């Protein structure tokens, strides 16, 4: 029995194109820029809603140019990739300006791409018409346990998948701008898990979603704690749970926040953890009748979802520019994830299972 080789992190094939960063909040300062510095990706300019915040982040990461506005950054002829970490109600206008800028070669947008499926489809079509790669930062696909799990599945070590589950009991940091939207968990947290399930297994054909409000979240929201069940053409069933309450958090209460996942197949099982809530590396163990002789095997790595997955996100976009091929995290595929999220909201509203055909998007 030979030991399989696993790659938790992708190779860095291209690190050529100059990045302009829009946004100076946690996700940009702690994740994007930390990852790019480690990978050696050139970041040449930054802008945010306030110049002072952008300047502070520029000083920290040695970024040479600070622009007064995101629009001014997009106009900078020295920027080739626009990397946006901005609220989704403001993101589409920035994407459209970048698509129209002759010197901009590609755009990396945040999820959700827009506040509606209709606008996401419009952005997809406009990017295609402009002939520029538009990529969406579904970074959980580059979590190390998800990368290795995908490799295990693709070589058939688990046989045919029968059941899959992502089980989250953790408290997200809801950005302040979310208070102005009527949608919360599905669009901003569940979207990671639903996209990861699509990455692993393809497009589901049925979605059933239940929700209740989260007692801790003080602003109005339609979806707090969320449970979604998916059915796939093969018969595979998958369950995605986002328990953003996860119990009280009073002084002296022993915190047990966690995210676990499990995939059961006809020839084996894989299980693991996502390290985000605790700042640890994600983990994976698997047991295959055919590959491990029925013993549990645990590959190891030192990298983490935050920030190291963001290396893979930017690398796949740099590679797409270099080769003239679509990025792995391309906007057309992301529209299908958004269509799945929209179907989940329909299931909540209609109180029933929703049939869907994501191949039509």
Q: Which stretches of the chain drop beneath a pLDDT of 50?
A: 1
Question: What is the pLDDT at residue 356?
Answer: 95
Question: What is the pLDDT at residue 2?
Answer: 52
Question: What is the pLDDT at residue 284?
Answer: 98
Q: Is residue 10 part of a domain?
A: no
Q: Chain-wide mean pLDDT for the chain?
A: 97
Residue 15 CB partners (closer than 8 Å, separation 6+) = 39, 40, 41, 42, 315, 318
CATH number at residue 119: 3.40.50.720
Instruction: Give the chain's domain count.
Output: 2
In this structure, the answer to whether residues 349 and 212 fall within a common structural domain is yes
- Rounded distance between C-alpha atoms, residue 352 and residue 344, angstroms: 10
Residue 3 CB partners (closer than 8 Å, separation 6+) = 297
Question: What is the pLDDT at residue 4?
Answer: 87
Q: Is residue 224 part of a domain?
A: yes
Question: What is the pLDDT at residue 48?
Answer: 98
Burial environment of residue 220 by CB neighbours within 10 A (0 to 12, 13 to 18, 19 or more): exposed
Determine the straight-line distance between the first and last CA of the chain, rounded to whole angstroms: 43
Q: Is residue 281 part of a domain?
A: yes
Question: What is the pLDDT at residue 111?
Answer: 96
User: CB count, 10 Å around CB of 305?
Assistant: 24
In this structure, the answer to whether residues 150 and 208 fall within a common structural domain is yes
Could you report the per-residue pLDDT of 171-192, keeping only the tens digit for each?
998 999 999 998 999 999 999 9
Question: What is the pLDDT at residue 44?
Answer: 98
In this structure, the answer to whether residues 237 and 326 fall within a common structural domain is no
Residue 1, CA distances (Å) to 4, 140, 213, 294 in order: 9, 31, 50, 11
Question: What is the pLDDT at residue 58?
Answer: 98
User: CB count, 10 Å around CB of 40?
Assistant: 9
**Domain that includes residue 168, residue range:** 140-304+338-360
Q: Identify which of 81, 77, 53 has the alpha carbon closest to the alpha carbon of residue 66.
A: 53
- Rounded distance between C-alpha atoms, residue 297 and residue 225, angstroms: 33
pTM of the model: 0.97
Q: Decide: helix, strand or coil at residue 120.
A: helix
In this structure, the answer to whether residues 316 and 300 fall within a common structural domain is no
CATH number at residue 217: 3.30.360.10
Q: Is residue 14 part of a domain?
A: no
């Amino acid at each position: 029995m030979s030991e399989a080789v696993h790659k938790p992190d992708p190779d860095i094939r291209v690190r050529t194109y100059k990045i302009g960063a829009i946004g100076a909040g946690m996700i940009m300062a702690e994740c994007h820029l930390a990852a790019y510095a480690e990978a050696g990706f050139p970041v040449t300019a930054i802008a945010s809603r306030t110049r002072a915040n952008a300047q502070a982040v520029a000083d920290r990461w040695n970024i040479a140019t600070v622009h007064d506005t995101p629009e001014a950054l997009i106009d900078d002829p020295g920027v080739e990739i626009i990397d946006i970490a901005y609220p989704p109600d403001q993101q589409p206008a920035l994407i459209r300006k970048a698509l129209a800028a002759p010197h901009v070669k590609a755009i990396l947008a945040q999820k959700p791409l827009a506040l509606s499926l209709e606008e996401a489809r419009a952005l997809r079509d406009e990017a295609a018409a402009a002939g520029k790669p538009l990529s969406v930062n579904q970074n959980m696909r580059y979590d190390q346990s998800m990368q290795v799990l995908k490799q295990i599945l693709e070589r058939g070590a688990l046989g045919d998948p029968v059941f899959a589950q992502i089980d989250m009991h953790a408290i997200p940091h809801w950005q302040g701008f979310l208070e102005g939207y009527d949608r919360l968990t599905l669009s901003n947290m569940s979207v990671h898990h639903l996209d990861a399930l699509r990455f692993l297994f393809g497009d589901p054909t049925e979605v059933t979603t239940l929700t209740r409000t989260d007692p801790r979240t003080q602003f109005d929201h339609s979806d707090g704690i969320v449970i979604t069940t998916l059915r796939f053409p093969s018969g595979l069933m998958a369950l995605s749970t986002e328990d953003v309450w996860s119990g009280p958090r009073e002084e002296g209460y022993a915190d047990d926040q966690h995210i676990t996942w499990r995939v059961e197949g006809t020839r084996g099982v894989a299980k693991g953890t996502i390290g985000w809530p605790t700042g640890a590396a994600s983990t994976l163990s698997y047991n295959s009748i055919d590959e491990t002789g029925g013993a549990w095997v645990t590959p190891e790595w030192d990298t983490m979802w935050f920030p190291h997955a963001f290396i893979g996100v930017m690398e796949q976009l740099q590679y797409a520019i270099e080769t003239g091929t679509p990025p792995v995290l391309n906007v057309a595929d992301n529209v299908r994830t958004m269509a799945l999220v929209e179907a989940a909201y329909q299931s909540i509203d209609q109180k029933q299972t929703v049939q869907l055909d994501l191949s039509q998007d």
